[in-house]
Amino acid sequence: MTNATENPGQIPANKRLLRRFLFASIFGFLLPLAVLAGGACGAVLLLKSGPEASLRAPERRARLVTIAPVTAGPAQTTICAQGIVRAAHAVAIQSRLSGEVTEISEELMPGGILRKGEMIATLDPADYELAVRQREADRGRAKSDLDIELGRQDVARREYELLGETVEVADRGLVLRKPQLDSARAALATADAALERAKLDLARTTVRAPFNALVRDRFVDVGAQVSPAKQIAELAGTDEFWIEVAVPTDRLKWIEIPGAEVRVFDEAAWGEDRYRPGTVLRQTGGLEEMGRMALLIVSVPDPFALLPENRGRPTLLLGSYLRVEIIGRGLESAITINRRHLREGGSVWVMSAAGKLEIRPVTVGFCGVDEVCLTAGLAAGEFVVTSDLSAPVEGMPLRVARRPRAEVTHGR
């Protein structure tokens, strides 16, 4: 009562302030909601009133590719392999006598070339010349003894005839000095053999090359003392080298053994286009230890091109690692394509007459390094797709910029 009497207008004023506060709060809350509701309604109206897109099937565009025609015909197989050059004939030359080396050949050094029968080294022949003279004297003495005995034989026969006595057959040889004659003849034969041996030793004081050879190493010089166990030089024949070639065992059926022709390449030393011809001699009968491949022996004649007909040809080096191409048996009828065009799974991409892609399985008759010979799956006149497609699908449309002429596709 006392407060109401003292402030009669205070209560109405407070009510007005409260109403204003409540109104401002409600308006601040409802206004954002109204804006959001209006935006939502406008978006719905725009969506309903906008143009509608019609659904269409995606357009399939033809892929631009390159193609190559194929034809059927005889095909030649080629087996590529690697090989190491070996000496077909190699020997360690040893002296058969003892003595001092008095002369050696100018070619007796690594890389020197010796002809068959050419002097390699010479030993001091003095002792062996004396031995020949001594054996000649022994032979002369034995010949004289035989002549004397022949004279005695004649005397004994005459005495036997003059006596006219009958002598047992067993004793007749003694009477006619047959044992003495046999002994004299044996002594002469022994003297002849000793003389021949002395002459042979004298000839052996000159050590000669047993065949046309390359000097790989030498072990003596002038003044050296040699014995029958002393090695003088190491030689390798120059008439022929062998190449030991390792090939997969499944390729042996394509190779004519012996007789297959071979081309030997050494691109690093000779260039890409030069090669030496060779011939397969035989199969070694064993397998190479590392790769378990078959080993073939290939013969290359005149490896140093010493003969007039081979002058100017590249030369082989012992121990070098070379590439060889063996000409194998041919196929009577096959289609040859580049190996890159044989796709995964043993198939080939073919462009059909309708311009569609066909993924065609094929039968491989022979697979080389660059080329593949097909015996089934393709027909002459068809076109192989040579382009690489990122996602090939059977039946996809194809197009070409220019249609090629009908010819065989080769890997080279």
CATH number of the domain that residue 251 is part of: 2.40.30.170
Which ranges constitute the DSSP H helices of 265-387? 267-270
**Alpha carbons 29 and 36: distance in angstroms, whole number:** 12
pTM of the model: 0.69
Residue in the structure block whose two tokens are 């378990």: 292
**323 and 255, same structural domain?**
yes
**Domain finish residue from 327, 344, 368:** 327
3-state class (DSSP) for residue 254:
helix
Residues 242 and 323 in one domain: yes
Give yes or no: residues 253 and 265 share one domain: yes
The confidence score (pLDDT) of residue 102 equals: 95
Q: Tell me whether residue 338 is in a domain.
A: yes
Tell me if 184 is assigned to some domain: yes
384 in any annotated domain: yes
Q: What is the CATH number of the domain that holds 347?
A: 2.40.420.20
- Based on the fold, state whether residues 307 and 253 are members of the same structural domain: yes
Q: Say what the pLDDT of residue 163 is.
A: 64
- Same domain (yes/no): 323, 343: no
pLDDT the model gives residue 87: 95
Number of domains within the chain: 3
| pLDDT, averaged in runs of 10, over the chain (412 residues) | 46 64 66 70 66 57 86 88 94 93 94 94 94 93 87 74 61 67 88 94 94 94 91 95 93 92 94 93 86 91 93 93 93 88 89 90 88 88 88 88 56 36
Could you list the residue range(s) of the whole structural domain that residue 168 is in?
A: 125-204
Q: Give the CB-side neighbour count of residue 215, counting CA atoms within 13 A.
A: 24
In a domain, 364, yes or no: yes
Apex 321 CA angle, 315 and 322, nearest 5: 65
pLDDT at 410: 42
Q: Which residues contact 148 (CB under 8 A, 6 or more apart)?
A: 184
Q: Is residue 133 a part of any domain in this protein? A: yes
Q: List phi, psi (to 5°) of 401.
A: -75, -40
